[in-house]
Amino acid sequence: MAQLYADEDFPFPVVERLRRLGHDVITTLEAGRANQAIADTDQLSFATSLGRAILTRNRKHFIPLHKRSAHHAGIISITDDPDFDGQATRIDAALAGISSVADQHVRVNRPSRAAKP
């Protein structure tokens, strides 16, 4: 299972579900880095120093970071979704489909809603 680091804006219910699915996830709070306005570049560097892919909802900043960074332990970005169980299941499935997330940006999207008649 994956070793992950959830940044500050990542939903904790998703963290809990990922843990139940067997993933090793730590949060910024557990790492003693919460409420410090730490820059995204520093969060990514910290996660990489731990050998953990970062979990984030902040695609706006992490997509450019991925493009600029030569090396990182992985970035997993999600779209906002109130279905926390579904979100964790989609992350788990995305990770199961790759041998290593290192140096990759994995996008996990909310399923599209069917158009209402």
Is 16 within a domain? Answer: yes
Specify the DSSP class assigned to residue 10.
S
Tell me what pLDDT residue 65 has.
86
Is 116 within a domain? Answer: no
Is 117 within a domain? Answer: no
CB 40 within 8 A of CB 63: no
Is 37 within a domain? Answer: yes
Is 29 within a domain? Answer: yes
Is 85 within a domain? Answer: yes
- Residue pLDDT, tens place only, 66-83: 988 778 999 999 998 899
Among positive and negative, which fits the CA dihedral 2, 107, 21, 82? positive
CB 55 within 8 A of CB 4: yes
Counting every residue written for the chain, the total comes to: 117
Q: What is the mean pLDDT of residues 85-89?
A: 95
Query: Domain holding 25: CATH number?
Result: 3.40.50
Tally of CB atoms within 10 A around 48: 20
Contact residues for 15 (Cβ-Cβ < 8 A; gap 6+):
6, 25, 27, 55
CB 97 within 8 A of CB 4: no
Number of folded domains that form the chain: 1
Q: Which two tokens stand for residue 77?
A: 């970005």
Is 10 within a domain? Answer: yes
- Residue pLDDT, tens place only, 11-26: 999 999 999 999 999 9
For 55, the domain range is 3-108
Is 115 within a domain? Answer: no
